[in-house]
Structure 1
């Protein structure tokens, strides 16, 4: 007698957002707000029962802009606990506004080969053509697939599979808003089957202990704009910030007049240099004028590599929360970049 194959176990964690939003409460004054639970989301999609043995967990019920790194740290601990209990994959539903940051935080915090998939919706259930059910079904199909093992945390929307370390939200309302500008998607879902075209190397990042829930130092994110005198840089330490991410122009440039202040701050707290463009890498050795990337890196700023400002802020925040000092941050960021930007082509 042939032994019956076990269906993969997948836990769906709901955290609110558009995918869980309805307008059945007069308090919303005609708008929608997150109210549907994880159980309600799962029960609305009969095809899920043919994909995995599902567990539904209502973790938060908020708009994604109200989530914090403390929430993500707690969620990562709960996901890890489920994996230890034999769960094969995890799916998180949430608002799309911060998916690029929350997914990256989970990529850094959750260890092990089991898939972690973050999804959401751009069209809420009260509209014609809501995309939440299709996105949740595709996310579970990815989380339940053996070929998704070892991908780290991914973002699945619009039938595309993106690595959390690269994905960005690029449009306010389009269902195709999520894109990985630097490398493209890892793969896609077709007829319920995930197709993985590229496999990023696993993050080798032992330097990131799980933070204490009560200790998340503040990290500022500043974007260079035309004519800004960047006076805030000199005030950040007084305001209690333990680190700074600067989104510079182009390949990583700032106005020359800001260089002396940045130099002083970078000698005391980590200052990470990213680009405001949202794609490509911070340059290291091309330009030599005051405020150029060569100038800034020689003065102690830490290059963010391919990370944009929001993701660089997540990385720096978690490093500081884990107790890293300035030297440890510099080493950890370099090690992260060395391990994160490597791919192996997948042969189907």
Structure 2
């Protein structure tokens, strides 16, 4: 897909007479065209909602289509102020051959890069693209995410540099890069240069929840679907031979696992042991493919592990039956906490694999122990 041709069709420069205010992104929702931008770009009073009369006075200059006619706006004043977003409807009479834009709020899928196009606060006020942006942090409860950008994008072709130059990108659209289709993920709110080099962005999920209830949020590039297929393939790759090899690897983890099974699973069988080994092998493969390469996933899973296993706690039980009950209680607590942390992430659908594999590993590595009140 040629972003060189398509991105300019979405890029809007917002002015009040000759004064440049910031950027906006042109989208189509349910057959109508809208310029989405950050509230503080168009508001005289920072953080305060705007009226139709105030928006009517502004100029919405499309990079490709020229000045766009103001029609109205959607979204309540409370929604504007809560999310720092304004959605402005514009006339369609000048717009033609507009790209089919899809919307996706899932920015956590591994190895995804993003591209932003807007207008820097420079003498030329020329639109510019920032490619190779990557996720730094996702703040799910605020429908917000942070994008890291390459340090060389903190300057313009004219040599002007610093976060002040990039402030003109406020209101720009954040698009998935290197995709076969055209996906919008969010809107740039501001530039951050303290905690990380990058952009603070609002997710399109905020647009859906408070501005466009008819907006469909799609699954980016088959992300969740591909994860399901991948996990099926990983599961199929665990052969009987691999299970036997794990039993005989000489590391002692299976022997430790057997000892723990005696404490909480009376009458266990070879099939029970094999299932624990499958849990470990599947989680190890999922971990390598999706978690270790994604800082956000890795941190969430590690937080859940610390929650359930901090201090290598031990649990006292008097009988194998009590051990069995205790084990399942730990499993339920771990699952509940992990699901909370992974909420909104495609990894959540694999939480049972993570919990089963991690608990099996903890048992095998003696981090989690059961013993009798009577010293048996």
The TM-score with structure 1 as length reference comes to 0.28
Larger radius of gyration: 2
The TM-score with structure 2 as length reference comes to 0.26
Higher normalized helix content (fraction of residues): 2
